[in-house]
């Protein structure tokens, strides 16, 4: 489960790193430290933290993507490669799936996992705020559990819109605002169980406390939908999964 890339607070040059306020220039490095630390135990922790639900959330995302043979797909913050692996089986030899992440440790784990499964994909370290791809190139762009870690979400969303073809689809799978009746139990779990699991399994309590904090700093469902509209996706829908623990946002680029 990836952590928080929050939007800038504006002219102050500061942003959020969990509940802390830090200089914008520091955030990328701090997020990098989190994922360098957790990369090797990332998949195990995902299963433990979500009770395996992350696999269902990703399966739903893959289904909504509607990827077909010959398509070009960009997976941003692709990490250990769950989505890239699934899309590779759908695009066939005529299509492309680009497996990307800003964090080299996560990308290496994902690349090795893909190779172990006999899948060779272009694997690129890149920043979602400055994508190294041509305009109107991809049919589908996905980002799962990565948007909330980005310093300037608005810039990243605009870059995703830029590289999509007209008619192309962006899918953002991310932690979101849980239904109100569940909030107290969810908060207790997030701030007590997650750091404890992080210490026991990944020997890293702080990174998983940051995860819990970053989720609270991420825009809620409606706010993110509006951000996507402002980035050039006039048609945006979202689906609450597991009572809003996670939401899948879909945006279509019309022109």
Residues belonging to the binding site for S-adenosyl-L-methionine are: 80, 101, 127-128
CA 53, 171, 133, 8 dihedral sign is: negative
Torsion of CA 11, 101, 143, 35, to 10 degrees: -80
Look at residues 5, 72, 70, 65 and name the one whose alpha carbon lies nearest to residue 35.
5
Burial class from Cβ neighbours inside 10 Å (0-12, 13-18, 19+) for residue 234 reads exposed
Binding-site residue positions: 80, 101, 127-128
Task: For tokens 């994909």, name the residue.
Answer: 121
β partners of residue 141 = 74, 170
The answer to whether the CB of 187 falls within 8 A of the CB of 196 is no
Which residue in this structure is represented by tokens 């433990």?
48
């Amino acid at each position: 489960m990836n952590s928080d890339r929050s939007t800038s607070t504006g002219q102050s040059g500061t942003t959020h790193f969990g509940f802390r306020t830090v200089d914008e220039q520091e955030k990328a490095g701090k997020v990098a430290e989190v994922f360098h630390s957790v990369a090797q135990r990332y998949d195990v922790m995902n299963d433990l933290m979500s009770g395996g639900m992350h696999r269902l959330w990703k399966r739903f995302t893959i289904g909504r993507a509607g990827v077909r043979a010959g398509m070009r797909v960009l997976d941003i913050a692709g990490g250990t490669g769950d989505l890239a692996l699934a899309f590779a089986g759908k695009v066939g030899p005529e299509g492309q799936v680009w497996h990307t992440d800003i964090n080299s440790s996560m990308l290496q784990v994902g690349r090795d996992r893909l190779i172990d499964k006999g899948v060779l994909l272009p694997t690129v370290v890149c920043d979602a705020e400055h994508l190294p791809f041509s305009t109107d190139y991809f049919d589908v762009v996905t980002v799962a559990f990565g948007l909330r870690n980005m310093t300037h979400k608005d810039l990243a969303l605009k870059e995703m819109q830029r590289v999509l073809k007209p008619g192309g689809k962006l899918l953002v799978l991310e932690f979101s605002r849980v239904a109100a009746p569940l909030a107290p139990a969810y908060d207790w779990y997030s701030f007590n169980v997650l750091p404890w699991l992080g210490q026991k399994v990944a020997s890293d309590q702080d990174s998983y406390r940051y995860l819990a904090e970053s989720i609270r700093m991420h825009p809620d469902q409606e706010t993110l939908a509006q951000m996507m509209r402002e980035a050039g996706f006039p048609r945006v829908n979202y689906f609450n999964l597991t009572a809003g623990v996670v939401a899948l946002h879909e945006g279509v680029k019309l022109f």
